Structure 1
Amino acid sequence: MSMISQYGTLAGADGAPDTNGAPGSDGLPLHGVRVLDLSHMMQGPWATEMLADLGADVIKVEHVRGGERGRESGTTRIGGHSAFYLAMNRNKRSLALDLKSEAGIAIARDLVARADVLVQNFRPGVIGRLGLGWDEVHALNPGLVYCSGSGYGGDEADRPGQDLLAQARSGAMWLTGQHGGPPSPAGPFIADAHAASMLALGVCAALFERTRTGVGRHLEIDLVGSMLHQMTQELVSHHNGDRSSRRSPSPSNPFMEGPYGVYATSDGWIAISMCPTADLARALGLPDLHERFPDKAAALEGRDDLVAEVGALLAPRTTAEALAVLEANGVWCAPVNDLDTMATDPVVGWAGRHARVTHPGIGPVDLVLNPLSVDGHRLPVRRPAPRHGEHSAEVLAELGLDAGDAERLARDGIVHLGGAA
């Protein structure tokens, strides 16, 4: 039992009702699972958002002053709030807590004792100095699944990690772009995104194992390792294959044979995927194309010439004209949409892939739905990203502290109440 005499007594694990704090999560796979999210920016918060989407009660433990660093990330603001933060933190509750204070740590430890999962991506040593490292937490709650995120992992865990740097050092940036041009980073933050997905997968696996053993695990994930994992096919081909790789003259994967790549049209761009040259020859009226590039090996060896020839034939046509003739002849292709045309593309189906929710103080906000469906239904957005400390009083009440205790903690700067921006 944790004691904070001047504020009241924190109830033991059985001393207060467990509300799960996740309205609308009944029937979802992780209903009843409680997650403490001590992470920031994207890697950890997106992983915990995925768990929240699946029904977990995610308590976002933020700095008492200002909140999580991600609240200031990016350059786009929606009603004064970071668009990146709103995107990464839906379906969670916010507890604004001073982890450098004795009282704040006592509250954190009581939450740890009741939690199923803890996610953190502090710099190495920080979480241990707070008394919330793996050894201390495992002794307090042996069943807790403990997750640590970093940029590089292992001996380089203290090196600052960020998505662009991970794309660069992993070699992924070299894979992107065209021959003779500079290395190109992916538009989305793919290192963070894949690390978040793998972390969420690991949590689900560890929770399943715990049903048999009763014991939690310490999971670790890093951005560079996540980038390497995404390049599994390319790395195995490069380090084991019988030919050296080189970048394509068309922006595409350097391991793929022509005509795989992106091509300019008179009014935009189209992408052509894996395609037998016989189909392409028929579509473009080039009967000898298949004779010159009869198989994948020839299409890879002569890729530069093949790409140049296809590009010259497509450039005068509109995107609609090029797509029509290619699709009619079985060529796998697609328009390269920008973010506005994507939203009206009848095949992409943006209308069924996002939800409009109402955020207090902002109004309507469009959020991207989780791509997973359960029993034929998309996972719901049950609440928007929380305001700073919006649920502090609610979480403290679940620990046995009444309104007076919460107000005293707020006056002493241990917690922040209310949910101001």
Structure 2
Amino acid sequence: MLKTCASVLLCPRALTCTRCFSFRTATGGDSVRPLEGVRVLDLTRVLAGPFATMILGDLGAEVIKVERPGAGDDTRSWGPPFVGTESAYFLSVNRNKKSIAVDLKHPKGVRIITELAAVSDVLVENYLPGKLEQMGLGFTQLSAVNPALIYCSISACLTHIAANYLNAGKEARRWGTAHQSIVPYQGFKTRDGYIVVAAGNDKQFVKVCQVVGLGELAHDPEYTTNQLRVQHRTQLIDTLSTRFLEENTSDWLRRFEGSGVPVGPINSIQDVFSDTQVKHNGLIQEMTHPTAGPISVPGPAVRYSSFQPGGPTPPPLIGQHTTQVLRHTLSYTADVIRELLACGAVAQSGEI
């Protein structure tokens, strides 16, 4: 949920803000990352939020991740596997960020976040609805100190499932790899693995029948439209499943090549990272973490033709940048920072 009229990827003060980014083409000088100069205040935890803010960091934004003193993001303890003392889960979605440890239950901690919001362009959060408002950090409170702030709240959204219920009273159920409203559109076991076949229209269904050598299915009156195939899902899927078991995945992929039907193997993780396309596109990033040492994570999900992502900074330690942000972003004096550390409103890790 985006609570502003401004674009989420464009600083609303772009015409007046001296630290905002500028675009350059690949031939127009040094490469500048698209979000260079944009400051993002990151109040997210776990997966969806941190992944979203990591993408903004990949694109050049300054991302200030706010964590609880002591425990930090919940995913720091989600393991094994761990790399040193860091969970692989946390390492996977938190590169290119600064970490500050702030106690949001402490009045001085709330004041720090309010002051950071005043000098930020974007705030992203995934708290329970209403929780930040109770702390004095909701959209209404923070927009009062920074009317141009883009305030983004992340929550789960399953639009087509919601629409099915709201318009047809149809309760959701588990479908595995299958699609509730399209048949066949799912994974099938082959002789040596799995393949996904997605016949999104009647023409593609006819082609599936031809490729698998079951052309008579295309003319069966129970399967001539998608609506009929959904109604007779069980018997159709049973027939197709039996056929797919008769050959290897690679054989099926060759048969479907050029057919116009979306198909693909279900790869193991080892298969994914052994794929020549993954290697060619440089989708694995390597970096050195201050305590975990050398680590590898999947690279940026968004690519631009006009710039290449630079060397990433590793996921931060809890509160690794607390003092730095207070000093350089909010201009706090050394005495004030010492007082905040002493009263527990903030915390600083040993690595700076």
Q: How does 1:44-63 map to 2 (within 5 A)?
A: 44-63=49-68
2:148 is aligned, of 143, 151, 167, to 143
Distance across 2 between alignment mates of 1:397 and 1:340: 45
Match of 1:296 in 2: 225
The worse-fitting range, judged by mean Cα deviation, of 376-385 and 56-65 is 376-385
Asked if structure 2 preserves the Cα contact closer than 8 Å seen for 1:91 and 1:381, the reply is no
Asked if structure 1 preserves the Cα contact closer than 8 Å seen for 2:204 and 2:260, the reply is no
Match of 2:315 in 1: 385
Q: How does 1:50-129 map to 2 (within 5 A)?
A: 50-123=55-128, 126-129=131-134
Paired AA for residue 57 in structure 1: E
Match of 1:202 in 2: none
1:340 aligns with 2:270: yes
Asked if structure 2 preserves the Cα contact closer than 8 Å seen for 1:264 and 1:311, the reply is yes
Deviations 1:277-327 (A, max 9, x none): 543444334453433367334544544333322222221322223333333
Match of 1:311 in 2: 241
Match of 2:192 in 1: 267
Paired AA for residue 180 in structure 2: P
With over 3 angstroms needed to count, the CA separation of the structure-2 counterparts of 1:393 and 1:313, relative to structure 1, is same
Paired AA for residue 98 in structure 2: R
The answer to which structure has the higher helix fraction is 1
2:292 is aligned, of 355, 362, 372, to 362
SS of equivalent to 1:146: strand
1:406 is aligned, of 337, 343, 352, to 337
Question: What is the CA-CA distance between 1:58 and the residue it aligns to?
Answer: 1.3
Paired AA for residue 38 in structure 2: V
Asked if structure 2 preserves the Cα contact closer than 8 Å seen for 1:257 and 1:303, the reply is yes
TM-score normalised to the size of structure 2? 0.75
Asked if structure 2 preserves the Cα contact closer than 8 Å seen for 1:369 and 1:380, the reply is no
Paired AA for residue 102 in structure 2: L
TM-score normalised to the size of structure 1? 0.64
Q: How does 1:75-224 map to 2 (within 5 A)?
A: 75-123=80-128, 126-148=131-153, 221-223=154-156
SS of equivalent to 1:110: helix
Asked if structure 2 preserves the Cα contact closer than 8 Å seen for 1:265 and 1:319, the reply is yes
Question: What is the CA-CA distance between 1:19 and the residue it aligns to?
Answer: 8.1
Asked if structure 2 preserves the Cα contact closer than 8 Å seen for 1:98 and 1:413, the reply is yes
With over 3 angstroms needed to count, the CA separation of the structure-2 counterparts of 1:308 and 1:80, relative to structure 1, is same
Asked if structure 2 preserves the Cα contact closer than 8 Å seen for 1:91 and 1:385, the reply is yes
2:181 is aligned, of 239, 255, 260, to 255
SS of equivalent to 1:288: helix
Paired AA for residue 266 in structure 1: R
- Between the two proteins, what is the percent identity of the paired residues? 31
SS of equivalent to 1:263: strand
1:415 aligns with 2:346: yes
SS of equivalent to 2:70: coil
Match of 1:29 in 2: 34
Paired AA for residue 288 in structure 1: E
Question: What is the CA-CA distance between 1:63 and the residue it aligns to?
Answer: 2.0
SS of equivalent to 1:61: strand
The worse-fitting range, judged by mean Cα deviation, of 369-378 and 344-353 is 344-353
Distance across 1 between alignment mates of 2:44 and 2:174: 39
Paired AA for residue 222 in structure 1: S
With over 3 angstroms needed to count, the CA separation of the structure-2 counterparts of 1:237 and 1:281, relative to structure 1, is farther
With over 3 angstroms needed to count, the CA separation of the structure-2 counterparts of 1:292 and 1:68, relative to structure 1, is closer
Question: What is the CA-CA distance between 1:356 and the residue it aligns to?
Answer: 1.5
With over 3 angstroms needed to count, the CA separation of the structure-2 counterparts of 1:324 and 1:125, relative to structure 1, is closer
Deviations 1:309-365 (A, max 9, x none): 222222132222333333376654221112222222345658632212221111222
SS of equivalent to 1:352: coil
Distance across 1 between alignment mates of 2:339 and 2:211: 75
The worse-fitting range, judged by mean Cα deviation, of 84-93 and 25-34 is 25-34
**RMSD over equivalenced CA pairs, Å:** 3.7
Asked if structure 2 preserves the Cα contact closer than 8 Å seen for 1:35 and 1:116, the reply is yes
The worse-fitting range, judged by mean Cα deviation, of 30-39 and 387-396 is 30-39
SS of equivalent to 1:358: strand
Match of 1:375 in 2: 305
With over 3 angstroms needed to count, the CA separation of the structure-2 counterparts of 1:239 and 1:345, relative to structure 1, is farther
Paired AA for residue 140 in structure 1: V
Question: What is the CA-CA distance between 1:253 and the residue it aligns to?
Answer: 0.8
Count of matched residue positions in the alignment of Structure 1 and Structure 2: 320
Flag structure 2 segments of 5+ consecutive residues without an equivalent: 1-17, 21-29
Paired AA for residue 116 in structure 1: D
Question: What is the CA-CA distance between 1:123 and the residue it aligns to?
Answer: 4.2
Distance across 2 between alignment mates of 1:132 and 1:321: 57
Asked if structure 1 preserves the Cα contact closer than 8 Å seen for 2:69 and 2:102, the reply is yes
Distance across 2 between alignment mates of 1:248 and 1:67: 33
Distance across 2 between alignment mates of 1:412 and 1:250: 51
Match of 1:397 in 2: 327
Asked if structure 1 preserves the Cα contact closer than 8 Å seen for 2:55 and 2:301, the reply is no
Question: What is the CA-CA distance between 1:75 and the residue it aligns to?
Answer: 4.0
